[in-house]
Amino acid sequence: MANCPNLLVLDVSQNRLTGNLPPWVVKTGLKSISLSGNSLSKSMQYPSVTSLEASTEGLKVLDLSSNVLSGEIPFDIGNLSSLLVLNVSRNRLFGSIPSSIGELKMLQVLDLSDNKLNGRIPSEIGGAVGLVELRLENNCITGKIPIQIQNFSSLTSLILSHNNLTGPVPAAIANLTNLQYADLSFNNLSQSLPKELTNLSNLVSFNISHNNLQGELPVGGFFNTISLSAVAGNPSLCGSVVNRSCPSVHPKPIVLNPNSSSSNNGSSLNHNHRKIALSISALVAIGAAAFIAFGVVAVSLLNIHVRSSMAQTPVALTLSGGEDFSCSPTNDPNYGKLVMFSGDADFVAGAHALLNKDCELGRGGFGIVYRTILRDGRSVAIKKLTVSSLIKSQEEFEREVTRLGKIRHHNLVALEGYYWTPSLQLLIYEYISSGSLYKHLHDGPTTNCLSWRQRFNIIRGIAKGLAHLHHMNVIHYNLKSTNILIDDSGEPKVGDFGLARLLPMLDRCILSSKIQSALGYMAPEFACRTVKITEKCDVYGFGILVLEVVTGKRPVEYMEDDVVVLCDMVRGALEDGRVEECIDGKLRGNFPAEEAIPVIKLGLICASQVPSNRPDMEEVVNILELIQCPAEGQEELE
């Protein structure tokens, strides 16, 4: 083999080779060397891998992973200036990371994981500006994370878990705009997380579990949906994700010491001053008490006058929708309570004109939806609940609405606030302008139908929204295409979630009647009182939604002399190999079968009659990520 002058790639990985690198390997011309998965057991220093005669078109890939190499990483590794991939993971290397790593300007992948490396991460590593993946996990590395990592503008993976790193998580990480995966778990990192991390718009995973971090988790972006397991093991972290409120910081009151004096000789004068101050304080206190007493008497007389007036003239709250709700402020101290969780709490037309029939958006099992405008110019959707008689108390209603208002995810419709009277309850949501998924699938023009890529992204977005709901212990109960809204960017947002939680008196019969418009989406366990209602009911509805999105057909369609149940139709067509009948005809063959068929099968599994056969929504999200084809060619499908 030494006599093969044109040899460019040597790959003898996954064998049982032992001993040293043979001398002929270190020859001019090799571009890639892969010896991973063998039993090479000598030191990297013998023979030195850097004795390769690197030219301008020299070695690009060096993979010695999964051997039993020992010793230190040679300092002259920096001589391999053309290196793109250096992988020496899963060996027995010790010592520190050589600073010469920073001389590898073209290096894209550096994997030193699963060794016995110690010492600090050298600041010189910032010189490897082309890094896309940096893996140093499962070593004994100490010290701080160097701020020079901000030089890795192309970095997508930063894996530093299971080391002994200390100090803060550097704000410099926020400069890694392409970062997708970060794992800093199982270290000794401390202090609070930088707020700037919310700027990392491409994050898929950020694991900081089992450290000594403290303070409030960043709010916004990825961190609104970060999983509990990714932040566990940090007892001093606070925020909604860890279900631990952050302590309020109040300014310390100014305390004047009455015993202080500018001179030790003025004690008699100070004593007189204290007497005068005491007399003034007493007079002020007496005056304040008298003023309060007078105010109480005045308010009492005013209340008596108002009550006598109200007894003669009943008061009604008139809405612009033409409905009158009589209500006595005497019997209802919380009459007309309007609460916004953030932003402006005033409406352009006033709180008495929220429900304008001209602005009605739609009707559902739980209420009628209107559109109105806040004083700051934002549009919101107002849902007038039609289940007032089932709401047990104002206290429980407000507690549950506040809980739902804290749930934030880019695939969920945000609950912005509420309006309460004993006979009228309104929920205030963000307004989504592009309408429902039902409209896009069934009411839209055929010339502007959803592409396969749009449909796949909608399915995946719904799955992520439901997975977050279930993570927050919320069951949707009423999943259907009319409750999935599409924003201007084509992203789906799941709406109407958790409304059943507002009705403590709700039983299965009432629930079924309230959401009977969801025919075809309801899990079979709704009809069986002995089966517990769980998140798997939502999974069933999701499965039906998947089939609806893929086929473009409604869950149940009534023909002239037949009723077609979508789930049964798709299952039969798939078993008979008639895949084309399972895809919306509007796509006209513009879809990848390698994605479409697994998605259809996933929908059928989710719509299984047996709840235990349905996957969890987190599993569904992972499956969809595996199903998705590579990015190549996706633009052609659109």
What is d(CA 397, CA 389) in angstroms, rounded to the nearest whole number? 12
What is d(CA 108, CA 459) in angstroms, rounded to the nearest whole number? 34
Pick from 55, 56, 44: nearest CA to 20: 44
Residues 470-481 have pLDDT tens digits of 998 898 888 899
What confidence score (pLDDT) does residue 258 get? 38
Calculate the average pLDDT of the chain. 78
What is d(CA 113, CA 110) in angstroms, rounded to the nearest whole number? 9
What is d(CA 156, CA 154) in angstroms, rounded to the nearest whole number? 6
Phi, psi dihedral angles at 587 (to 5 degrees): -80, -20
What confidence score (pLDDT) does residue 290 get? 67
Residue 4 pLDDT > 90, yes or no?
Answer: no
- % pLDDT > 90, the chain: 29
Binding residues for ATP: 384
Provide the token pair at 135: 């893996």
Residues 373-420 have pLDDT tens digits of 776 677 888 888 765 555 667 787 888 888 888 898 999 999 988 888
What is d(CA 416, CA 409) in angstroms, rounded to the nearest whole number? 13
Last residue in a domain, options 244, 266, 288: 244
Question: Model confidence at 216, in pLDDT bands (50, 70, 90)?
Answer: confident
Q: Domain range spanning residue 518?
A: 434-629
Strand partners, 428: 382, 417
Query: Does the residue 340 lie in any domain?
Result: yes
User: Do 361 and 442 belong to one domain?
Assistant: no
User: pTM of this prediction?
Assistant: 0.49
SS3 612: helix
- Mean pLDDT for the stretch of residues 151-170: 93
CATH number for the domain that contains residue 401: 3.30.200.20
Query: Does the residue 269 lie in any domain?
Result: no
Could you tell me the end-to-end alpha-carbon distance of the chain, in angstroms, rounded to an integer? 49
Query: Does the residue 173 lie in any domain?
Result: yes
What is d(CA 328, CA 490) in angstroms, rounded to the nearest whole number? 46
User: Do 388 and 472 belong to one domain?
Assistant: no
User: Do 599 and 455 belong to one domain?
Assistant: yes
Q: Which residues contact 37 (CB under 8 A, 6 or more apart)?
A: 13, 14, 15, 65, 66, 67
User: Do 215 and 80 belong to one domain?
Assistant: yes
Pairing mode of beta strands 188-191, 116-117: unpaired
User: Do 476 and 403 belong to one domain?
Assistant: no
Question: Model confidence at 528, in pLDDT bands (50, 70, 90)?
Answer: low
Question: Averaging pLDDT over each range in 23-27, 501-505, 545-549, which range is the top one?
Answer: 545-549
What confidence score (pLDDT) does residue 270 get? 47
100 and 123 in contact (C-beta within 8 Å)?
no
Question: Model confidence at 5, in pLDDT bands (50, 70, 90)?
Answer: confident
209 and 189 in contact (C-beta within 8 Å)?
no
User: Do 409 and 446 belong to one domain?
Assistant: no
What is d(CA 181, CA 205) in angstroms, rounded to the nearest whole number? 5
The two most distant CA atoms of the chain are separated, in Å, by 112
What confidence score (pLDDT) does residue 580 get? 84
Angle between helices 593-606 and 452-471 in degrees, nearest 10: 30
Residue predicted with more confidence, 324 or 168: 168
What is d(CA 591, CA 638) in angstroms, rounded to the nearest whole number? 9
CB burial of residue 430 (10 Å; 0-12, 13-18, 19+): middle
Binding residues: 384
What is d(CA 229, CA 210) in angstroms, rounded to the nearest whole number? 10
Last residue in a domain, options 388, 403, 431: 431
Query: Does the residue 392 lie in any domain?
Result: yes
Residue 335 pLDDT > 90, yes or no?
Answer: no
Residues 94-139 have pLDDT tens digits of 999 999 999 999 999 999 999 999 999 999 999 999 999 999 999 9
Question: Model confidence at 513, in pLDDT bands (50, 70, 90)?
Answer: very low
Other C-beta atoms lying within 10 Å of the C-beta of residue 417: 21
Residues 52-102 have pLDDT tens digits of 544 445 888 889 999 988 888 988 888 888 899 999 999 999 999 999 999
Pick from 196, 238, 234: nearest CA to 217: 238
User: Do 593 and 557 belong to one domain?
Assistant: yes
Query: Does the residue 564 lie in any domain?
Result: yes
Question: Model confidence at 265, in pLDDT bands (50, 70, 90)?
Answer: very low
Question: Model confidence at 252, in pLDDT bands (50, 70, 90)?
Answer: very low
Question: Averaging pLDDT over each range in 51-65, 124-138, 240-254, 616-630, which range is the top one?
Answer: 124-138
Q: Which residues contact 239 (CB under 8 A, 6 or more apart)?
A: 216, 217, 219, 246
Residues 272-287 have pLDDT tens digits of 444 444 455 555 566 6
User: Do 135 and 157 belong to one domain?
Assistant: yes
What's CA 24's distance to the chain center, in Å?
53
Strand partners, 367: 385
Q: Which residues contact 81 (CB under 8 A, 6 or more apart)?
A: 54, 58, 103, 104, 105, 106
User: Do 571 and 438 belong to one domain?
Assistant: yes
Provide the token pair at 464: 């992520």
Residue 321 pLDDT > 80, yes or no?
Answer: no
Query: Does the residue 322 lie in any domain?
Result: no
Pick from 101, 16, 27: nearest CA to 58: 27
Question: E strands within 59-204?
Answer: 61-63, 85-87, 94-95, 109-111, 116-117, 133-135, 142-143, 157-159, 164-167, 181-183, 188-191
Residue 619 pLDDT > 70, yes or no?
Answer: yes
CATH number for the domain that contains residue 496: 1.10.510.10
What is d(CA 363, CA 449) in angstroms, rounded to the nearest whole number? 25
Question: Model confidence at 28, in pLDDT bands (50, 70, 90)?
Answer: low
Whose structure tokens read 């025919």?
519
- Mean pLDDT for the stretch of residues 322-348: 51
Residues 561-616 have pLDDT tens digits of 677 889 999 999 888 888 888 898 888 778 888 889 999 999 999 999 888 899 99
- Mean pLDDT for the stretch of residues 301-315: 44
User: Do 155 and 21 belong to one domain?
Assistant: yes
CATH number for the domain that contains residue 115: 3.80.10.10
Query: Does the residue 379 lie in any domain?
Result: yes
Query: Does the residue 636 lie in any domain?
Result: no
What is d(CA 115, CA 19) in angstroms, rounded to the nearest whole number? 19
Residue 197 pLDDT > 80, yes or no?
Answer: yes
125 and 103 in contact (C-beta within 8 Å)?
no
Last residue in a domain, options 244, 261, 287: 244
Phi, psi dihedral angles at 485 (to 5 degrees): -100, 150
- Cis preceding linkage at 170, omega within 30: no
What confidence score (pLDDT) does residue 634 get? 43
What is d(CA 145, CA 601) in angstroms, rounded to the nearest whole number? 45
User: Do 475 and 602 belong to one domain?
Assistant: yes
Angstrom CA distances, 190 to 144, 184, 437, 482, stand at: 10, 12, 45, 46
Weakest mean pLDDT among 227-241, 318-332, 431-445, 488-502: 318-332
User: Do 443 and 404 belong to one domain?
Assistant: no
Question: Model confidence at 445, in pLDDT bands (50, 70, 90)?
Answer: low
What is d(CA 331, CA 581) in angstroms, rounded to the nearest whole number? 62
Number of domain units in the chain: 3
- Mean pLDDT for the stretch of residues 350-368: 64
Question: E strands within 403-522?
Answer: 415-421, 424-430, 484-486, 492-494
